[in-house]
Structure 1
Amino acid sequence: MFLLCVLRYALFLLVPLSLILSSYLYLYPVFHLCAFPSPSQDGLSSKFLSSRTTSYLDTLLQHTSFSNDEKIAPFRLLALGDPQLEGDSSIDNVEAAKLPHWHKFLDHGGGGGFGIGFLRGAMILGEEKEEWKTRIINVAGNHDIGYAGDIDQARMARFTRMFGKANYEMRFHLPEGVEAMILGEEKEEWKTRIINVAGNHDIGYAGDIDQARMARFTRMFGKANYEMRFHLPTNTTADDGEEEKEIPELRIIVLNDMNLDTPAGTKELQDETYNFLNGVITTSQDVTRAAHFTIVLTHIPLFKEEGVCVDGPFFDFFDGEFGNGVKEQNHLSRDASKGFLEGIFGMSGNTDVPGHGFGRHGVILNGHDHEGCDVYHYINQSSPPEREWAATKYPQAVATGVTEEMDIPGLRELTLRSMMGDFGGNAGLLSLWFDREEWDWRFEFVNCALGTQHIWWIVHILDLITLGVGVVYVVLAVLQSIPARPAGMVQVGDGKVARANGGVKGPSPKEKTNGHATPQYTMRIGVVEEKDTGKGSLRKKKSKATMNGSSSNGSAMSDR
């Protein structure tokens, strides 16, 4: 069959192609050598291999009997930016579960036909069309187009499908009398723990954040402000045995910076954020303490001049509502960013402050700018009295030596590129380990990208086509393998087959009687055919019935 042949050759092409592309899609970290940076990437192996390759090989060895814990960072953070699982933060009445104008629509004759009353009711109902357009968009794709009260559940269901069942009830606040948790404990628990950072699609900006949205976020994704402290279990005795050193400590601060800038629509919530921030500052270790590292996880990036990143400085404010608060912003304000660097990290352009203004070691991770950005913030202590914080791209800062200058305190800020398909499906891999020789923490960050969202669609569409062609091919092949009966013949019983023209064939092609072959006869109208199965000859005789109306042979055949 020609069609079967075409399908066979199509499968020869489609099956290998689908397997290759599907393997790439679901194993893309293998193809891109994606792995958490390892402490050994700067060792001897990096002289022959790239740091990415070295880290990948160390990760592979971790799952074998040759595993070496010293080659694996004790702290590893998988960071995903801006999944865009938008809630109803853009809806004015977030708690509304029904159409508030529906009864007005009915009162004005909306249910009584298509008269003037109906048109008047439709105009009233249309006042909330944007609100419900947003509600439908928020739920679309969740396989749960339900009432407004179901939006939270639908959004959470989609989040769970993406990230799996997660645990948000972490022990964020340390018990009394306990200074810190031990880094590396509760390994199994941390496999299901997710740290969620509040963003504008969760709670809105400073102007439209309210108690209802904050309560919803806390209920669904955990607290918006908290901190964790960890101690690294290690021998604190110096190698020469003469001096006791500081215990390595890691501090993780999760900060809601959505309402750091003013005006804010709800001052009480802004006060909560600033009270938490002040608590972080007052309970921080001394800036001169060694072996201390601070990670800040937040959403809105720090201020930077136009051109450093894709997003430049931008602020927009509500007009006449929400206390004229912040409606949208790309960065924190210059003052809020300065408070970040000088308050949390203790950095300063003044050399007379404790630690000479170099502050604490650490890193800031945030999102919001979907394009992503790697920035180095610094302040030149040798500049004139009006010392200002500046920012440049981190690779450029390294190339120009800014990161190594003795009189320039600085800090790296990592703005994660969005994990959405439009931006390449990115995941950030942050590793933190302790350098015993320097008695200080070190970290590295790499980005792992799948590729544009079209790759996902192409692969799955191709898989469906391959599956469909395969099913059609199997069905046709099975049908072709079924033996067909001779055309125009039907089984009638006793081994006889009736032809469509009324003839009857005998039960056996080669019956033997007393060792002699028995002739077979086929009756047709006007003609009798006799087959001599023994000699294979065929003789035709005119039927006597056609000559005189009777025949012994004909009678014999009739008797049969």
Structure 2
Amino acid sequence: MRLSRILLTIATALLPFAVLATTWLYLYPIFHGCGFPAALYEDGGHGMNAAVAPFRLLALGDPQLEGDSSLPKEGEAAFPSLQRLWALSISNPSTYRFLLTHPRTLHHTLRTLYSALLELTTQDLPRFIQTQRKKLDLLGNDYYLAHIVRSTRWWTRPSHIVVLGDLLGSQWISDEEFGMRAGRYWGRVFEGLEKVPESIMDQGMGRDIGHENDVHEVLGADKSWEKRVINIAGNHDIGYAGDLDEKRIERFERAFGRANWEIIFTLPPCNYTPSSDALETNGQQPTPESPEIPSLRLIILNSMNLDTPALSSPLQTQTYAFLNHIISTSHPISFPVTSSLQFNLLLTHIPLHKESGICYDDPFFDFFKEEEGGGVKEQNMLSEHASKGVLEGVFGLSGNGEHEMGRAGVVINGHDHEGCDVIHYVERTSAAKTDNKEDRGDTGGASAGNGGEDTPRLKEITLRSMMGDYSGAAYFLSAWWDPNAGGEGNGEWRMEVGMCKIGVAAWWWGVHVLDLLVIVLDGQYGTIKWHFLIFFDGMERGG
């Protein structure tokens, strides 16, 4: 009875901690204040009104689902040494009589037996234990990431979801391993969610250069976006430019969606009242296809082969063509760059170029050897040339011209696991120069350094990884149209970003181990108590 009381005492002492820890873990978005920033609207100069933003993007970076190609494949023996022992047929009684009458064969058999036993204890058993540990680690990591996705979606109710590249942990894995990890991605981490339908992505690939708008949707009209995941291609998914080939891009797009595409969300006409200064429609009501209605443009860009040399010239040409399509169909065709009617949200993987010391990662390039193709093998950021093309081409950020403030928008990417917030600004000089100002950790906004209010600028948010080593970060971007803001009250798009972390994966493991311990102890106490009751009942009956 003493043992049962000890177990009961331990379980009772641990129970409050288990309840508190489990409550915190499963309600952490509430306790940590996770949520989308409120949409603040100007109220005719009398103050600000708050509301729920119509566009709420849950952004996650670099989950990097791991695997281990060294693990035994399906059907492969876990203990090969035991098969060797069985092959000796020592279980057959006739074998013993044969061995006893043939000393040399007996000696050889004993040596084989010793070798097999040695292999069993020094190789097979350690490998088996390591295999089970790795499987448990992968399972726990998958459900840790799934817990972040499930909890943040439940509490914050995003309208859209994006994963900013490096969905998987390696681009060099086999097709079989790729399929297994993709299955875990959809079956565990993002269970119940789905990739964007190909019908939408195919229309938004920009194949027809010069076609102004491939895909238009009214923001909020299709609630299916709440269960869709926009997947960005990262280096661990398809490789850098030097090892990105057609095979890798094809398997990624089959499992996760197109590497390059776009979609434009327009505000419902009933939610937008244009001013006479903003529009000249001669009294006609705007339609969803009208470029004069405020719109939010999502640009999904494969930045893995923007830099050279590239292994596949056709794939790089496709990326360049898509980028040119984005540039050629931007709203300055209908409006000047200063127009605030369209908000451009560029989603990609590799961050733009920044000087050393601004973010955790410094500029870095490495290349394959000439005999291996000489292409880009690794890079921390885009080159200055590629970054300038994005800033000036997609966003119109230029120091030349009197009113070239750039298009409204933001760049969101991953790759640098530590995360970084930066303002890119361009000094107004005859020779335009792009510079950067560090603002690490403050996702709400950044100073543009020595640039004044009339300095062209653009915000770039590099997400901290959602992996356990980086505390499971999740980002919440709110975007909304404020009709009373902007110059002369013509309206403008506004954006705010928040971020919260669950904590390192050890917390997730610790809480579940504590819960399991309490359950086991409580169960053991019940089992022991039941055995004692049976024993004493039998004693009484026997007496």
Q: Is the 8 A contact 2:59 2:477 kept in 1?
A: yes
Which is worse superposed, 269-278 or 403-412? Answer: 403-412
Matched letter for residue 169 of structure 1: P
Distance, in Å, in 2 between the alignment partners of 1:196 and 1:381 is: 37
1:314-363: CA deviation from partner (whole Å, max 9, x where unpaired):
000001344200000000000100001000001101125xxx22120000
| Candidates 466, 476, 487, aligned match of 1:429 | 476
Q: Is the 8 A contact 1:348 1:357 kept in 2?
A: yes
Q: Is the 8 A contact 1:300 1:366 kept in 2?
A: yes
Aligned residue for 1:224? 259
| Candidates 365, 375, 391, aligned match of 2:436 | 391
Distance 1:462-1:185 versus aligned 2 partners, 3 A rule: same
Distance 1:458-1:263 versus aligned 2 partners, 3 A rule: same
* 1:184 pairs with 2:220: yes
| Candidates 313, 329, 341, aligned match of 1:267 | 313
1:125-168: CA deviation from partner (whole Å, max 9, x where unpaired):
xxxxxxxxxxxx9999379xxx9553132111210200113133
* 1:72 pairs with 2:52: yes
Q: Is the 8 A contact 2:439 2:447 kept in 1?
A: no
Distance, in Å, in 2 between the alignment partners of 1:450 and 1:83 is: 14
Matched letter for residue 326 of structure 1: V
Distance 1:473-1:242 versus aligned 2 partners, 3 A rule: closer
1:201-244: CA deviation from partner (whole Å, max 9, x where unpaired):
10010000011001100111010000001110145444689965
Distance, in Å, in 2 between the alignment partners of 1:290 and 1:221 is: 32
* 1:477 pairs with 2:529: yes
TM-score (norm 2): 0.70
Q: What's the secondary structure of 2:299's corresponding residue?
A: strand
Aligned residue for 1:327? 377
* 1:141 pairs with 2:138: yes
Query: 1:291 offset after TM fit, Å?
Result: 1.5
Aligned residue for 2:10? 10
Q: What does residue range 260-339 of structure 1 map to in structure 2 within 5 Å? A: 260-286=306-332, 287-339=337-389
Q: What's the secondary structure of 1:24's corresponding residue?
A: helix
Q: What does residue range 57-456 of structure 1 map to in structure 2 within 5 Å? A: 71-85=51-65, 141=138, 148-160=174-186, 161-165=188-192, 166-170=194-198, 171-174=200-203, 180-187=216-223, 189-235=224-270, 236-238=272-274, 246-286=292-332, 287-351=337-401, 356-382=403-429, 385-394=430-439, 402=449, 405-438=452-485, 439-456=491-508
Distance, in Å, in 1 between the alignment partners of 2:382 and 2:479 is: 27
Distance 1:4-1:172 versus aligned 2 partners, 3 A rule: same
Query: 1:446 offset after TM fit, Å?
Result: 0.8
After superposition, the CA RMSD in angstroms is: 3.8
1:300-320: CA deviation from partner (whole Å, max 9, x where unpaired):
000001110000000000013
Distance, in Å, in 2 between the alignment partners of 1:179 and 1:152 is: 31
Query: 1:23 offset after TM fit, Å?
Result: 1.3
Query: 1:389 offset after TM fit, Å?
Result: 0.7
Distance, in Å, in 2 between the alignment partners of 1:87 and 1:219 is: 20
Distance, in Å, in 2 between the alignment partners of 1:12 and 1:469 is: 9
Matched letter for residue 304 of structure 1: K
Q: Is the 8 A contact 1:300 1:367 kept in 2?
A: yes
Distance 1:148-1:360 versus aligned 2 partners, 3 A rule: closer
1:410-434: CA deviation from partner (whole Å, max 9, x where unpaired):
0000000000000010111111011
Q: Is the 8 A contact 1:76 1:432 kept in 2?
A: yes
Distance 1:483-1:322 versus aligned 2 partners, 3 A rule: closer
Aligned residue for 2:114? none
State the number of aligned residues: 423
1:355-413: CA deviation from partner (whole Å, max 9, x where unpaired):
x221200000000000000010001104xx44321111237996756497243100000
Q: What does residue range 532-551 of structure 1 map to in structure 2 within 5 Å? A: none
Matched letter for residue 361 of structure 1: A
Structure 2 unmatched runs, 5+: 75-110, 112-133, 141-172, 205-210, 282-291, 486-490
Distance 1:449-1:360 versus aligned 2 partners, 3 A rule: same
Distance, in Å, in 2 between the alignment partners of 1:319 and 1:138 is: 36
Structure 1 unmatched runs, 5+: 52-67, 92-96, 98-113, 115-136, 491-496, 498-560
Q: Is the 8 A contact 1:174 1:180 kept in 2?
A: no
Query: 1:276 offset after TM fit, Å?
Result: 0.6
Distance, in Å, in 1 between the alignment partners of 2:371 and 2:243 is: 9
Q: Is the 8 A contact 1:87 1:152 kept in 2?
A: no
Distance, in Å, in 2 between the alignment partners of 1:413 and 1:336 is: 15
Distance 1:403-1:469 versus aligned 2 partners, 3 A rule: farther
Matched letter for residue 29 of structure 2: P
Distance 1:401-1:149 versus aligned 2 partners, 3 A rule: closer
TM-score (norm 1): 0.68
Ranges of 4+ aligned residues in structure 1 off by more than 4 Å: 137-140, 173-179, 238-245, 395-404, 485-490
Q: What's the secondary structure of 1:35's corresponding residue?
A: coil
Distance 1:399-1:310 versus aligned 2 partners, 3 A rule: closer
Between the aligned residues of both structures, percent identity stands at 45
Distance, in Å, in 1 between the alignment partners of 2:278 and 2:388 is: 40
Matched letter for residue 34 of structure 2: C
Query: 1:277 offset after TM fit, Å?
Result: 0.5
Matched letter for residue 259 of structure 1: N
Distance, in Å, in 2 between the alignment partners of 1:478 and 1:357 is: 81
Matched letter for residue 297 of structure 1: L
User: Larger % of helix: which?
Assistant: 2
Aligned residue for 2:99? none
Distance, in Å, in 2 between the alignment partners of 1:140 and 1:465 is: 19
Q: What does residue range 462-541 of structure 1 map to in structure 2 within 5 Å? A: 462-482=514-534, 484=536
Matched letter for residue 464 of structure 2: R
Distance 1:232-1:224 versus aligned 2 partners, 3 A rule: same
Aligned residue for 1:57? none
Q: What's the secondary structure of 2:304's corresponding residue?
A: coil
Query: 1:41 offset after TM fit, Å?
Result: 9.1
Distance 1:370-1:3 versus aligned 2 partners, 3 A rule: same
